[in-house]
Amino acid sequence: MTRILYIHGLNSSPASTKARQLLGAMRRIGIAEQLYVPALHHHPRQAIAQLETLIGAAGSDPLVLVGSSLGGYYATYLAHRHDLKALLINPSVLPHQRFADCAELQTNYYTGETWQPTEEHRSALAELQVPWPQDPQRYQVWLQTADETLDYREAETAYRGCALRIQAGGDHGFQGFAARLPALFAFAGIDARLWRDIDFSDL
């Protein structure tokens, strides 16, 4: 039984649009219990500890990581560490370098929680850097060129050894995600009989 671990981005939550769409799709095909969508702590070390616990909980079941933005950076680290498949959506590249210029108070878009970035946040992110993957069978990277938060070309370069799917336009939230869920399920190895005749674009 294949499980999916969805990893949200910075200042996001399980209430994000993509997380809700993925959960809605998996409910529609009757496998919602195979999805993990944790609410991650803002500190990288605590977030990784949460994710490691869920990876352990999957046991011997196949597990596929789906990471958005900073979640894509986390997914890259965890896929490298545990030899897992990962689908990365507008992933953050070297976020510890961006944190150097991000000293203002942060607010979670969904929970309203506020927190202050510190040098410890930056160093913890730096510790998670691994060699850029070179396996198009294990890694898919979905990018939209009009991402207003991250320059898609950075990810295009970093993940050039992976299966890149670059779409013109869009935004950082990745427009049209629901319609592309069949491609996610195919990558994850979910039985096609469950989803091949379903249009998820209304989610």
**What is the domain partition of the chain in residue ranges?**
3-194
Residue-level pLDDT at 102: 61
How many Å apart are CA 97 and CA 99, to the nearest integer?
5
**3-194 classified as CATH 3.40.50.1820:** yes
- Give the predicted TM-score (pTM) of the model: 0.97
Is pLDDT of 28 > 90? yes
Residue-level pLDDT at 22: 98
Provide CB contacts within 8 A for 157, sequence distance 6+: none
Question: The tokens 């990018």 sit on which residue?
Answer: 143
Is pLDDT of 6 > 90? yes
How many Å apart are CA 152 and CA 156, to the nearest integer?
6
Is pLDDT of 178 > 80? yes
Q: Tell me how far the alpha carbon of residue 79 is from its chain's centroid.
A: 11
DSSP 8-state code for residue 104: S
Q: What percent of the chain clears pLDDT 70, i.e. is strictly above it?
A: 98
Here the tokens at position 130 are 């691994």
Is pLDDT of 97 > 90? no
pLDDT bin (cut points 50, 70, 90) of residue 104 is confident
Which pLDDT tens digit goes with each residue over 41-59? 999 999 999 999 999 999 9
pLDDT bin (cut points 50, 70, 90) of residue 194 is very high
Is pLDDT of 99 > 90? no
Provide CB contacts within 8 A for 92, sequence distance 6+: 9, 10, 69, 70, 72, 73, 98, 150
What is the average pLDDT across 150-161? 98
Half-sphere exposure (CA, 13 Å, Cβ side) for 114?
Answer: 3
Q: Report the chain's C-alpha Rg in angstroms.
A: 16
Q: Tell me how far the alpha carbon of residue 8 is from its chain's centroid.
A: 6
Diameter of the chain by CA atoms? 49
Here the tokens at position 112 are 């309203």
